[in-house]
Structure 1
Amino acid sequence: MEAGVKPIELGVGRQLLFDDHLIATSALERVFHQPKVHPATPVLKPETPIEMNGGYCPVACTFQDGAFFDPEDQLFKMTYHAGWFASTALATSKDGIHWDRPVLDVDGVTNRILPIGYPRMRDGAGFWLDTFARDRSERFKMMVYYRHGSHPSTPYTDYDFDGVKEQYAEVYTSPDAIHWTQRGRTGECGDNSNFYFNPFDGRWYYSLRVHADRGRQRSYVAHADFVEGRAWAREDRKNLVVPDEFDHANPSGELPSEIYNFDAVAYEGVMLGIYGMFRGPQNPDSFYRGLPKITDLEIGFSRDGLDWIRPNRGKPFLAPSQRPGQWDRGYLHATGGVCFVVGDELYFYVSGFSGHSPMLGTHAYAGGSVGLVTLRRDGFVSLHAKDAGEMTTKPIVFSGGHFFVNADCAAGRLRVAVLDEEGRAISGYGEEDCHAITVDKVTQSVTWKAGDLTAFAGRPLRFRFLLENAHLYSFWVSRSAAGQSGGYLAAGGPGYSGVIDE
């Protein structure tokens, strides 16, 4: 081992392979994967009187908002924007595919959870299930951005918003996601601001839209207490994610890209982020043409919640269809909580706008619905060998003794050799001693003739992966023979008692 190089503490979670953090040498190809649209999409679309918005701008979609799995009643729960600039409502689901609108005692007639009524108009929002909350009255958290107007046509026909007198955000807490207590206004921020929790440093991050030289970007304020953290001053805001010269423009080249939205969540051992990348046109053109803006979704990762990378920058994780009449014609929005772990898949809820308005024909903010897209668990990126290739890790220190991979070897095989920190093979744990993996599984144990890795816990080791016509998505060392990673599960999922895989 090179002098001065310290072994890497493996830590919790499945180890994703989006960068070379754990890799010393590799002859494998890094392949980025995209999600698939579920055939039930859209899983939520405008139907009720509130959502139909009088026929002007029908909307039933997350405008950021949030979706989480509540292990207490085994329900998926989603807050969403019901009717453009109108109401905040709650939908629930037993399977994440079929969604219900429960009649709630807030008004005894609808599924709304916050007061509705002009002149206060809701804009973007954030929603979070805090499974770590010590106070049950704060188990659910929400942030909503409001505009106060003075004439009813403001949301539909007057882009300049001369009638908007005040804009601000408020935060709320709730024990049940139904009955909410207003906890005060936030500091200065832009529309579509939201928030998320970073369990690696135990702080709430307010993800705040600001405008700078390159247009929309994201700043942040972080605080250990969600409610106390809302009262920031302008000078408290720090840069979080910003666009730069490497962000491609829209296809016509007329506009540089901007960071329209940013959502994040803890997934396994890292923070997973979704960037809403604005590609144009700007608001006036979009509004007067009656067409939704174009926002792609890109994936990013961070090991500390502050330094973010987009390893597949410029190639959308998901892009709008731009096809007339389609639910995802444009204006894609990710959802707070980002994704769920559902069996062998990740569920992402993504909102899109068709632009169809029964009253106006077309409108930039009409036809908002929610689509479901799915991805293999850990399936953001894989290391691939078409014929044969290998990858060797840097020296790693771990606890536990059971080695697992997420790999597709159905048309080939994968073997793992255990090496000492200098790269020498350990007797009984060489590639010839490894029981080859020849299946496609998201949780597959790796074993050797000499046994498991319990005797090596705390000792620096390297692993050499040998792939033949196979994809490797992640690997980890577990304390359990069942393969629990101890990592984070984003917005949770069925079969788990919270948001940690344990």
Structure 2
Amino acid sequence: MKHNAFSLLLVLSVLLVSSIAAQTTPADSITERTLYNGIVLPEVWPPRDGEVMSAEPMKVPYLDSPPQVIPIDIGRQLFVDDFLIGQTDLKRSFHSAEKYSGNPVLVATTQEELSIREDSKSKNAGGATVTLLHGGAFYDPADQFMKLWFSGGNSLRFNVARSRDGIHWERGPDKIANPATVVPVNDCFWLDLEARDPAQRLKLQAVARAKPSEKHLHKVELSPLYHAFYTSANGAKWSNAVPAGSSSDYSSFFYNPFRKRWAYSIKDSVPPRHRVRRYAESLEFGTPNIFDTSVFWVGADKLDQPDPKVGDAPQLYSLGAVGYESLMLGMFYIHVGPHNNVCQKLKSPKHIDLKAGFSRDGFHWDRPFREPFIASTRTEGAWDKGYIHSPAGILFVVGDRLIFPYSGCSGTVPDGRKGMYAGQSIGLATLRRDGFASMDADSHPGVLTTRPVSFKGEHLFVNLNAPQGELHVEVLDEAGQVAATSEPVRGDSTKLRIPWKNAASLSKLSGKPVRLRFHLTNGQLYSFWVTPDANGSSFGYLGGGGPDANGVRDVPPSAKP
């Protein structure tokens, strides 16, 4: 009997050790954990070392220890951080988006959207609303329209608008249904152009009924709320709900095209920081109860300044992300108050600003620019006084410009009544392509030398603004000797090919570790890339896409499916 008990104990011990080993042994080899840019992910992924209570900025391991050689085959290489920079005396400038003068471009027009209600207790008016909560912004090559999935009216009825140029929008003929189990709180759409099943081309995450077995709806003021996933060919008819798990009321998701993973940005509340985000990921969209596997991700930190007229500590209201060229662009919704009960008393919207962040592994965020990328005006009578939101997909690429849809709240309905969620509309902001950051030189020549990089292409392109200046480039070999020298160039172009002295291209240096040395006078350098395409396709990702690429990736026409 004792022998049998000992044997059973031994077996259980072995099983326990095996179970622990299975949880801590890396599932992937170093090769499989090495990303397109040379970054090697840690064995434990996603990382579990986030400090929930810390207000320090997020640590970014790959900036502290960059790869010895950085592959640059995917996308335009942006100067938003020091990942690519070995040495420089150029000055980095960050740039905010410019609001479109014709805003708003979508306003409440239907009877349902214009409907107004008033809360019997707070006397806050609501309605006269079209909004992005989160909605979605994607180019659809099927009919060659840019599309905005949005919500309208007090019931937050789903709808879609379309545009050829990204500026002028109309309600499209597509009919978008609200799944019967969805609660009108928030929604997040994603147009998946890589979907293997056409019936899953459009993806949705939304707050849903408490559980599939329960018939009652959640009271939206309660937390946590249950979320669910849905898929559809076009939004007219949705699949059955797949439970996502529970979280606070404003969670979302995005696709990381570099790692081929669906990532979930999950709202949580942790006093005293309050609104923060948790993270989970899956290979397939809509893994049941994926929220339950989440880890702490990120919140606002000590570098996020309070609104001096309010004084509340900033909070992270939401975080969306999308692949842009060679990195993940994050849109941080920084909430600076007032608290909801104060907004109700004031009958005025919350102050939320959109701020940009950048990630090269999809998890760790560098946020070197803390000024608003798109700000609430805080101005009485302005359509975007507060409550600024960004859609999933974040941006369109149209020619030389990036177009950022966003929604805002005036706090006023047409009859003059006010409320913290009253009077919401959708507008646009624009930015030069790759224009998040530039490396600048004045009349005194400056130099930027990259870290060692490698490429399989042969044509060097730059995004340069130097109509009165000049840029020339040298390529240094492993020994630091000049292996190629360019002709000087000048001009203002988002795609300028660099010509070489005594060579047609950089083909002889393909596959070899080299450094690029840029000499700049009176100009701004936004990005560079080396490509096999003589016309300058970067093979990078384009946010929600655009008409020039006819999709979400910048590839030559011959490479398109």
Q: 1:137 to 1:93 in 2, by over 3 A?
A: same
Q: String of CA shifts for 1:257-315, please: whole Å, max 9, x gaps.
A: 100011100011111000000000011111221100000110001111011111112x1
* C-alpha contact 1:183 1:227 (8 A) present in aligned 2: no
Shift in Å, 1:8: 1.8
Partners of 1:166 and 1:463 lie apart in 2 by: 51
Q: Does 1:188 align with 2:246?
A: yes
Alignment of 1:26-65 (within 5 A): 26-54=88-116, 56-65=126-135
Q: Structure 1 unaligned runs (5+)?
A: 105-110, 149-160
Distance 1:473 1:317 in 2: 17
Partner amino acid, structure 2, of 1:175:
A
Q: How many residues matched?
A: 471
Matched, 1:446 2:498: yes
Q: Secondary structure at the match of 1:328?
A: coil
CA deviation map 1:71-112 (0-9, x unaligned): 1110112111111343122222222222222355xxxxxx55
Which residue of the partner structure matches residue 472 of structure 1? 525
Task: Write the mapping of 1:93-242 to structure 2, written as runs, cut at 5 A.
Answer: 93-103=163-173, 111-114=175-178, 121-146=183-208, 167-213=225-271, 214-228=273-287, 230-232=288-290, 234=292, 236-242=293-299
2:460, 2:337 → 1: CA distance? 47
1:435 to 470, 487, 495: 487
Q: Which sits farther off after the overlay, 236-245 or 42-51?
A: 236-245
Are the equivalent residues in 2 in contact too, given 1:91–1:102 (CA < 8 A)?
yes
Residues in 2 aligned to 1:223 and 1:343: alpha-carbon distance in whole angstroms = 33
Residues 1:385 and 2:438 are matched in the alignment = no
State yes or no: 1:274 paired with 2:336: no
CA distance in 1, matches of 2:245, 2:224: 14
Counterpart AA for 1:499: V
Please list, as runs of the form range in 1=range in 2, the aligned pairs for 1:219-368 lying within 5 A after superposition: 219-228=278-287, 230-232=288-290, 234=292, 236-252=293-309, 254-313=311-370, 315-358=371-414, 361-368=417-424
Matches within 5 A, 1:405-424: 405-424=462-481
| Alignment match, 1:395 | 452
Moved more, 264-273 or 31-40: 31-40
CA separation of 1:371/1:49 partners in 2, compared to 1, >3 Å: closer, same or farther?
same
SS in 2 for 1:142: strand
| Structure 1 counterpart of 2:536, from 477, 483, 489 | 483
**Structure 1 residue runs of 4 or more that deviate by more than 4 Å after TM superposition:** 161-166
Residues 464 and 492 in structure 2, CA contact (< 8 A), matched pair in contact too = yes
Classify 1:360/1:177 alpha carbon distance in 2 versus 1 (closer, same or farther; 3 Å).
same
Alpha-carbon distance, 1:6 to partner: 2.7
Q: Could you say which residue in structure 1 is the equivalent of 2:20?
A: none
Q: What is the CA distance between 1:250 and its match in structure 2?
A: 1.9
Deviation at 1:247, TM superposition (A): 2.2
For the Cα contact (< 8 Å) 1:147–1:164, is it kept in 2? no
Matches within 5 A, 1:72-91: 72-91=142-161
Distance 1:216-1:186 versus aligned 2 partners, 3 A rule: same
Deviations 1:306-332 (A, max 9, x none): 11111112x111111111111110110
| Shift of residue 166, structure 1, vs aligned partner | 8.8
- Displacement of 1:220 in angstroms is 1.4
For the structure 1 residues 5 and 179, does the alpha-carbon distance in structure 2 shift closer, same or farther, using more than 3 Å as the test?
Answer: closer
Which residue identity lines up with residue 136 of structure 2 in the other structure? G
Residue 184 of structure 1, CA deviation: 2.1
Shift in alpha-carbon separation, 1:72–1:86, aligned structure 2, 3 A: closer
Match of 1:9 among 64, 71, 75: 71
Distance, in Å, in 1 between the alignment partners of 2:361 and 2:501 is 38
Quote the Cα distance in structure 1 between the aligned partners of 2:407 and 2:391: 8
Q: Look up the equivalent residue of 2:145 and give its one-letter code.
A: L
What is the alpha-carbon root mean square deviation over aligned residues? Answer: 2.1
Which whole-Å CA distance do the structure 2 matches of 1:262 and 1:84 have between them? 24
Separation (CA, whole Å) in 2 of partners of 1:162 and 1:178? 25
Q: Give the Å deviation of 1:447.
A: 1.2
Task: Report the CA distance between 1:147 and its aligned residue.
Answer: 7.6
| TM-score of the superposed pair, with normalisation by structure 1 | 0.90
Question: Would you say the 8 A contact 1:25–1:391 is kept in 2?
Answer: yes
Pick from 545, 549, 554: which aligns with 1:492?
545
Specify the SS of the correspondent of 2:379.
Answer: coil
Cα distance in 2 between the residues matched to 1:67 and 1:358: 27
| Contact 1:61–1:370 under 8 Å retained in 2 | yes
Contact 1:347 1:374 in 2 (8 A): yes
